[in-house]
Structure 1
Amino acid sequence: MSRKIIYLINPISGTRGKGSLKQMIARHTKAKGIPFEIMDTDIDAKYEAVRKKVTTEGFTDIVVCGGDGSVNQVVHALADTDVQFGIIPMGSGNGLAFAAGIPKSSEKALNIVFTGEARLTDAFMVNDQFACMLCGLGFDAQVAHQFAKQPKRGLATYASLTTRNFFSAVSYPFQIAANKLTFTTEAFFVSIANSNQFGNNFTIAPKAVLSDGLLDVVIVKKVAKPLLLLTVMRQVLAGKLRHIENSLRSPVIYFQTEELIISNIGNAPMHIDGEPRDTPTRLQIKVLPQYFKLIHAL
């Protein structure tokens, strides 16, 4: 297939300068003999100009140079054009990129764009909001809300906020209906994952697969002291997962489902793909199987 690539660069993602990135992209793409264009991401997430280029000028690939939030916006706007999506990770977490085997190095990630394999990849909806990889309620969402307000972004800022919030974490009440079962619980956080991780190679759902048509739900319940979360998370990281019916008494509830309903009784904060969102009191969540083509590492 003859390829033609649009690179969309988020000018404010991460901490690295973008001038050298543009030069590197241009140099390597020209060396491959692939026609290309470099554009900025759209702050309003409309992407009508990009859509027009795809439909009238025959562009086949859109490569997002940004974080999970940028990928979310671009895929949501343009998945119906049937292009292939690539990622050069430039955010603070980059969970979707890492789940697809894409490294942090921009040059190595660009090589994946050239040599990788485009695979049909799931997404999901949270009420009427689109998600590529992760929706969180509670602890991690609180961090996301604070992170969005920081004048200086990047991994160091995110790690500092995570540590600070960890020791003051509070639990929230939820009612959850999935797989013909309804239960209530108090939890530090609820994660609905298509990817197997939060980001930064921190695993949250070891059995999650980007293209299995299932969402992986991880609920870390209220425990006696926040420090016990470390013990709880070892179960998740070790992959010691149980069916929903057998894990209700466990500190971690883990299950897979195509859809679920969450009553957010305590108005826990929410994020989608690392970006803070308004907190709904009722979330209807449903997988979108094989929704877009993502270039994975071989």
Structure 2
Amino acid sequence: MTSDDIAVLANPTAGRGRHRDLLSGVLSRLQDGGRPVRLLTAHTGAEAEAACHEAVAGGAAAVVAVGGDGTIHRALQAVAERPVSFGVVPAGTGNDFAAGVGMPADPLLAAETVAAALHAGRHAPIDLAHAVPAGGPGRADDPARTVAGDGPGRWFGAVLAGGFDALVNERANLMRRPRGPRRYDLAILLELARLRPRAYTLELDGVDHSFEGMLVAVGNCASYGGGMRILPGADPADGLLDVVTAAPFGRAGLARLKPRLRRGTHVTDPRVTVFRARRVRLRSEGIVAYADGERLGPLDLEVTCSPGAVRLLR
């Protein structure tokens, strides 16, 4: 790969495969940026990350992720705080990072936007969040306390979930049946049956805000889960993380909260509190955190905002 190349990471199964036939059109529009386009080869998440790292190390002019938040999450590990441009073409189920940073929802239009920005030498500095196990990654006294993947921690662009939603994700990922969306629906029912408030240790810029509840999220962008506006005021270019917590809800109260999450109006509920901070320490027993929809690890994490960590082609 040369310094003129655009390295493209594409997930053909993103969005349950509905954008598979668009890839040739996306690649064609990216070529309009005046640079050679190379499609990276990867069959697993680990291979995708390795391919992106190799492309950046080889001097690629840009890395473009074509897919959903999971594909973007993989690419971010290679481009964060590196002098390489980054493009996003939303083609997944959720596309929350793409929406949060103002990319067009249409994949072909997004590819045209990326190509035009690359041709003009234009990029927007966008913040990222960085999560490491509290006390530092890979501590010798507790080798199980690691964040998914290799290297010191993980970057994420959208939202880290650490409450009921994270419990549902973990339950669904451990289930073999049923397949498809029904597995997630069953996981919700099973976790509702076990619903109880959790004790959270929460420090924001060194100030203790520990609480008991069942919902907590730390984010750089407004939404997760395909458009649920959990952090409606989040700005991915303000140098701060948004944090939302919720006091205990009963099952009925949690059910009533869900449609409000879609609109972002839940933040007006007196049981919901929103904070902003540069550094967040979050801990709770028995919860595995998810960020950008990807599994991170046990919830005893330090999350920091890195202002302008990625050069977004927009």
Q: TM-score, normalised by structure 2?
A: 0.76
CA deviation after TM superposition for structure 1 residue 64, in Å: 0.6
Q: Distance in 2 between matches of 1:49 and 1:225?
A: 44
Q: Please list every run of 5 or more consecutive structure 2 residues that lacks an aligned counterpart in the other structure.
A: 133-152
CA distance in 2, matches of 1:84, 1:131: 17
Distance 1:152 1:118 in 2: 43
Tell me, yes or no, if structure 1 residue 131 matches structure 2 residue 131. Answer: no
Q: Structure 2: how far apart are the matches of 1:46 and 1:91?
A: 16
Q: Distance in 2 between matches of 1:88 and 1:152?
A: 31
1:103-118 equivalent positions in 2, closer than 5 A: 103-116=104-117, 118=123
Contact 1:167–1:226 (Cα < 8 Å) also in 2: no
The CA RMSD over aligned residues, in Å, is 3.3
**Greater alpha carbon shift after TM alignment, 198-207 vs 47-56:** 47-56
**When you count strand as a share of all residues, which structure comes out higher?**
1
Tell me, yes or no, if structure 1 residue 261 matches structure 2 residue 285. no
**Helix, strand or coil for the counterpart of 2:115?**
helix
Deviation string 1:226-274 (CA, Å, 9 cap, x unpaired) is 4355358749823856xxxxx9xx311210011122231x322311211
Which residue number corresponds to residue 264 of structure 2? 237
1:220: which partner in 2?
246
Q: What letter matches 1:141 in structure 2?
A: A
1:210 match: secondary structure: coil
Contact kept in structure 2, 1:45 and 1:77, CA below 8 Å: no
Q: Judging changes above 3 Å, is the alpha-carbon distance between structure 1 residues 162 and 14 closer, same or farther for their aligned structure 2 residues?
A: farther
Q: CA deviation at 1:25?
A: 2.4
How many residue pairs align between the two structures?
Answer: 284
**Residues 1:66 and 2:67 are matched in the alignment:** yes
1:122-161 superposed matches below 5 A? 122-127=127-132, 128-148=153-173, 156=181, 160=185
- Alpha-carbon distance between aligned partners in 2 of 1:53 and 1:263, rounded to the nearest angstrom: 35
SS at match of 1:88: strand
1:295 pairs with 2:313 = yes
Partner of 1:286: 304
Q: Distance in 1 between matches of 2:65 and 2:267?
A: 34
Contact 1:193 1:215 in 2 (8 A): yes
**Aligned AA (1:259):** R
- Partners of 2:220 and 2:234 within 8 A in 1: yes
Structure-2 separation of matches of 1:104 and 1:161: 30
User: How far apart, CA to CA, are the structure 2 residues paired with 1:232 and 1:44?
Assistant: 33
How far apart, in 2, do the equivalents of 1:79 and 1:211 lie?
A: 14
In the other structure, the counterpart of 1:23 is: 24
For 1:207, give the aligned amino acid. Answer: G
The aligned runs of 1:29-108 (5 Å cut-off) are 29-31=30-32, 33-41=34-42, 43-45=45-47, 47=49, 49-56=51-58, 58-108=59-109
Q: Normalising by structure 1, report the TM-score.
A: 0.80
Give the Cα separation in 1 of the matches to 2:130 and 2:82.
19
Instruction: Note the residue ranges of structure 1 that are not aligned, 5 or more in a row.
Output: 242-246
